[in-house]
Structure 1
């Protein structure tokens, strides 16, 4: 059947993108999710472009002659230094890299030679993820040489499968579970000792060999054809083990569309970290998606997250019990192992549903221009938005490293005034750094225009003698569009889109300060951060002039003591009045002094009826980023809030965190606290709180990497793995991980190999006393006084 003309317009959402150099030129491949099923768009004979300083044309001409398919054209573009450039057009993208490397010994730059063809095609057409495909030739699921246009509002209904595997302690594959709307199945190695229970809501398929398991998996993907694979640590563990099993059994793992393999890649900056791109399918790892969305958990294990969010988990026990139970079920009760396996898939699906993780990653892709499963990538997202706009203003981007790395000021953190307070209100600047970019027109092109302007009249003056153009810039317009879109998303209660837009906007200042970014410039990022310093200092002065005292401030938040206790409604009213006055003051000040439109907007955040700001331990200087308060909302609902205190840090035990919370809560509520301190210490010394004495800390490196400085958690982990080795069971900590231990007179000992008695004196002096004294000192009391008075220490 010969190819036919495709429909005039077909909306879709980009799942994967790829490019390849062929003899006839570069070919770009996009896989789309559409209402008509998955479609592959092929764009053939695509030309790639880079930019060469025009003054080097004669020197470069012989090099161009040695590389076929390169053509030089005159362009009306220039560098930030106002130097004209030529366009170097290549039939094959890799020839641009060859030319760039040939020019390096001559110290001749080639700009934007690293922008990959599939990214360049999208960004220059202002496409992020939603697209309209026009025309082209259709051959089955393939559309050849259609034209792509942006379709920012279109979202697909994706077919999702949750994947999980079970293995032996040595990662020998036992079972593969797949949970999707169309089918729930477990492929099990070997013959089940008993038939599957009739109550099971999934299929259990016996596979005589691991080769048969992989073949069944390949066939399932070909038949059910999901768009998205989700899981928990699914790339670094599940897919990696599946690939290992496939390779060991000489059978291909073909999970991509068109039965194509995974194109494994390693992360250049993270040793051992893998990417698993495959044509037409996206892999979304739950852990990575949570971190990208700024969700925070004490542990990102599936057990911990599911218990926190769903109130249930795996229900098998600790790591050792789990492996032993998996082995028992595999040997004696395969249906039970299958149930355990498919349950993990279901937990992942429920977590994704509860937090709207898939809508979030779709909105993130649409917002950033990055592929759905590309987490991180703030620099790439910035470039995706910025490059096409700067080109239209007549500029090409610099190369990474054109400006040497140099320190620059960070966010402004005020000195705090420690102590206990009544009626503290917190005001917060909404998206401060993006608002500074919009208000003061901070921009790479704007800075280049200002630096080379013939007259300085009318330019916006920034910190460190920087000058910015009022009418030729890109970033303020990008931020404005994103800000408007976020306001609309909030009004529509589209939380995933609102969060994606917020994270992208807030990343821009950091990108300008990242030396790995082609737009890195200390002057640019300082024009944002130092302006932030100025905003916070002027706001503090304004508040002081109105009779209140600022006791702390951090980057974009300011903590205001109202000088006396106020009823909740009055405190909220004062805060609302301050918000209105500060915003009006900025609008007037910026219009009158610099003829600028004000986008700085301070908002009311919190009223603390009671507030505590501690000192830095061992001094009388106020701490930073550490406080506690009793917040009260407009309806009078109370909540204890802790920021940066011991109860939120892993180097403090549950004993310390519970003690700190209990002591502060009693003080804030005007309840007796002296007896609480003494009774708590006594109960601990009497062994009644042993369950709270466990340290839980992370090993961030391999165990053998700790040579000179050996912290307690490493000593405990080495004892644990020595104990594991003696019992002939897997060593848990050689590659890092989380360890639980207690302190004994012999030092730290892990829970799984605890032989000594607990050192209660350690917990008294190192955990309870420092917390108590930090809180009690402003009240004129101490831990030793309160515990000695009731003979706790004797």
Structure 2
């Protein structure tokens, strides 16, 4: 029978080759519940130069199910192409490998069937079904079309497990779908304490996993969330499932996880499951541009929610988990569930699920595909490029060296009153729109006979005024973002901004099929020209430009101005610069201007330090005092130690205190002396901890061993002596202090603190970067205190 139309959100996408052809499955979240769309007999396509048709036919057996067709398309080298159609996708990829061995290229053979189906129909994540026939929740061979306005209401569950120090499964907690559930290994007690959640005991580890499978089938969430949920929780669950020979059926229809190891990252795994999205809280926060010095659940929960886990450091945690498992299982269940609830609250606080939905709707990527700038670019660009008559090159077809990045002015170090910052709005996307920078546009420009009608780029590039794709894509996304901002849809606005701002970087990535240094230079070098021109315009108005970076310019107003007056000057300068660009581009180049500089901020006090050991101004490092949106004074730090996680709290608090006094024109000398004295006396010992990341396994550090590695080796030697699991062999984060015996981990500090190290390596560099431009220094302020040395 004919299926009723459904509007839905694509949760997952899968494909398989069958004897009758390729099948594609899309699981949808709809208002009527989950639905699976199955499309059968899907043909896969790649492209080849038409001149190679005979050579290709020689490699195809008559019964292979592969067909060659003439098409009105061509390569970037202006060669006509044919379509190579296969009834099964693996046939196409096998043919691509065979032809490659004979020196014949197939283009776009790496586009998988689900992505090809969606992109060619301009579908991202929300769809409407048409026709087809139903069999239970499965809709067969319907048509899909975009449904851009639809947003789903997804059912979400937070999952967390507790284990022994050696990965033995103790409990599984679930919070979501209206349930708060913990499954605990052990016998049901005769008198169970009263808890405010469902606590069920399981006699064997395999029963824990069986209960989890049953819970997911019964409550049927669309999304599973957790903290490091794939790399830890699901990996541990899978190992236990394999050990006890029970399936880990987390997918809809009882499907297993389809594990895939990251090709360039050892022991890093993806865990796609049919019908459900799995979202890791850490990766989701990073994708949404949330920054934390540490992404541990404890640190993020404290920062965002003002509370954290109830057990302290990792070793206390493992010991306490073991104690609770042996002596107080309800307390362990409560702790397990608390982690689930913290993750759920973080997702709500950061609006992460809404962001992931909007991101999928914007990019065309599956919601749990959290990288993928290149894939998102291809999803938007390929179908539009095909309609302009071109097929895409393969990765590696174009070679070249890296393109220049954003332009940074040499800074003028010192302490200033009244510095105004102007910022170009989405600089690189606006350059793409204004100067029509585009892969197809560049190819068309190179092939054009009449160069006078083209747009002149940078370093001899020429772009078509009529035939291009990326400017229109960028304009569409720009307008969508403006609409999202007007509607106060922050998740959508952020997703659109991130996508639009990724375009220039994608064109400069050698892993992208459209990689071309000439294209990237046409954007970045144009940005250089713009920043230099902007400086000339500002200085012609009598002000000084003391710094500039990529899309921002820092303007000293030459004297102190009240905040309102400085804001007015900044707004007037922005209007003047924008008018200049509009007039010049229209009159000289016949181009519509999409460049827009905006007032960004006014620093009542602004400090630009020198590069250590020189009198040259630093770059990307400054501090300034502003009046924030609440009308309060606030010090902004960029690139300085207070904003960097690899400096100690001792140094960060010292820098904050020193800047506060200098910006407020308060005496600072006694503060410096007292801080140094208290450091030496041990009053600040709690602030001396370094926390640094080990970016590779310990055994790979052979020469020039940094302090954090030395500390980590000491820590694991101690752990081994205490029969504890080793923590640092494969990297991670280490906390340590500097002692007279060198760096020592917090797990085992045996030597006295090296206070001299903290004075000369932490406090003095910070003080001198601020004080030397003021003809003062840390040494001159502290050497009189003989007791310090």
Same fold (TM over 0.5): yes
Alignment of 1:639-658 (within 5 A): 639-658=634-653
Q: Which residue of 2 aligns with 1:555?
A: 550
Which residue of 2, 17, 24 corresponds with 1:21?
Answer: 17
Does residue 88 of structure 2 align to residue 92 of structure 1?
Answer: yes
Partners of 1:597 and 1:717 lie apart in 2 by 58
Which residue of 2, 5, 8 corresponds with 1:5?
Answer: 2
What's the CA shift string for 1:287-311, capped at 9, x where partnerless? Answer: 0001111110010011100000001
Q: Which residue of 2 aligns with 1:332?
A: 327
Q: Which moved more, 1:153-162 or 1:645-654?
A: 645-654
Alignment of 1:319-358 (within 5 A): 319-358=314-353
Alignment of 1:126-137 (within 5 A): 126-137=122-133
> Shift of the alpha carbon at 1:65?
2.6
Residues 572, 634 of structure 1: 8 Å contact kept: no
What's the CA shift string for 1:577-630, capped at 9, x where partnerless? Answer: 011111111111110110111111111111100000011111111111000000
Q: Which residue of 1 aligns with 2:432?
A: 437
Residues 568, 634 of structure 1: 8 Å contact kept: no
Partners of 2:700 and 2:329 lie apart in 1 by 39
For residue 753 of structure 1, give the secondary structure of its aligned residue in structure 2.
Answer: coil
Partners of 2:228 and 2:118 lie apart in 1 by 30
Residues 698, 736 of structure 1: 8 Å contact kept: yes
Residues 425, 598 of structure 2: 8 Å contact kept: yes
For residue 416 of structure 1, give the secondary structure of its aligned residue in structure 2.
Answer: coil
Partners of 1:713 and 1:330 lie apart in 2 by 34
Partners of 1:754 and 1:214 lie apart in 2 by 41
Residues 629, 641 of structure 1: 8 Å contact kept: yes
Instruction: Give RMSD over aligned pairs.
Output: 1.1
Residues 410, 547 of structure 2: 8 Å contact kept: yes
Partners of 1:342 and 1:79 lie apart in 2 by 57
Q: Which moved more, 1:61-70 or 1:553-562?
A: 61-70
Partners of 1:192 and 1:604 lie apart in 2 by 66
Q: Which residue of 2 aligns with 1:624?
A: 619
> Shift of the alpha carbon at 1:106?
2.5
Q: Which residue of 1 aligns with 2:52?
A: 56
Alignment of 1:273-352 (within 5 A): 273-352=268-347
> Shift of the alpha carbon at 1:789?
3.6
Residues 177, 219 of structure 2: 8 Å contact kept: no
TM-score by length of 1: 0.98
Partners of 1:98 and 1:635 lie apart in 2 by 62
Alignment of 1:34-53 (within 5 A): 34-53=30-49
Which residue of 722, 728, 732 corresponds with 2:717?
Answer: 722
Q: Which residue of 2 aligns with 1:144?
A: 140
> Shift of the alpha carbon at 1:651?
2.9
Q: Which residue of 1 aligns with 2:177?
A: 181
Q: Which residue of 2 aligns with 1:65?
A: 61
> Shift of the alpha carbon at 1:269?
1.4
Give ranges in structure 2 of 5+ residues lacking alignment.
none
Does residue 525 of structure 2 align to residue 538 of structure 1?
Answer: no
Q: Which residue of 1 aligns with 2:690?
A: 695
What's the CA shift string for 1:212-240, capped at 9, x where partnerless? Answer: 11111111111111100000000000011
- Figure out how many residues of one structure are paired with residues of the other and give that number: 789
Q: Which residue of 2 aligns with 1:592?
A: 587
> Shift of the alpha carbon at 1:790?
4.6
Q: Which residue of 2 aligns with 1:685?
A: 680
For residue 63 of structure 1, give the secondary structure of its aligned residue in structure 2.
Answer: coil
For residue 179 of structure 1, give the secondary structure of its aligned residue in structure 2.
Answer: strand
Which residue of 654, 657, 660 corresponds with 1:659?
Answer: 654
Partners of 2:382 and 2:453 lie apart in 1 by 26
Which residue of 178, 198, 201 corresponds with 2:196?
Answer: 201
Partners of 2:535 and 2:157 lie apart in 1 by 53
For residue 64 of structure 1, give the secondary structure of its aligned residue in structure 2.
Answer: coil
> Shift of the alpha carbon at 1:644?
0.5
* Structure 1 pair 436–192 and aligned structure 2 pair: CA distance change class (3 A): same
What's the CA shift string for 1:660-696, capped at 9, x where partnerless? Answer: 1111110000111001001110111111111111111
What's the CA shift string for 1:408-455, capped at 9, x where partnerless? Answer: 111111111111110001111110000000000000000000000011
Q: Which moved more, 1:345-354 or 1:717-726?
A: 717-726
Which residue of 365, 370, 375 corresponds with 1:375?
Answer: 370
Q: Which residue of 1 aligns with 2:219?
A: 224
Q: Which moved more, 1:400-409 or 1:531-540?
A: 400-409
TM-score by length of 2: 0.99
Alignment of 1:438-587 (within 5 A): 438-587=433-582
> Shift of the alpha carbon at 1:140?
0.5
Q: Which moved more, 1:308-317 or 1:633-642?
A: 633-642
Partners of 1:244 and 1:631 lie apart in 2 by 54
Which residue of 738, 760, 763 corresponds with 2:733?
Answer: 738
> Shift of the alpha carbon at 1:49?
0.6
> Shift of the alpha carbon at 1:181?
3.0
Partners of 2:419 and 2:357 lie apart in 1 by 40
For residue 290 of structure 1, give the secondary structure of its aligned residue in structure 2.
Answer: helix
> Shift of the alpha carbon at 1:201?
2.1
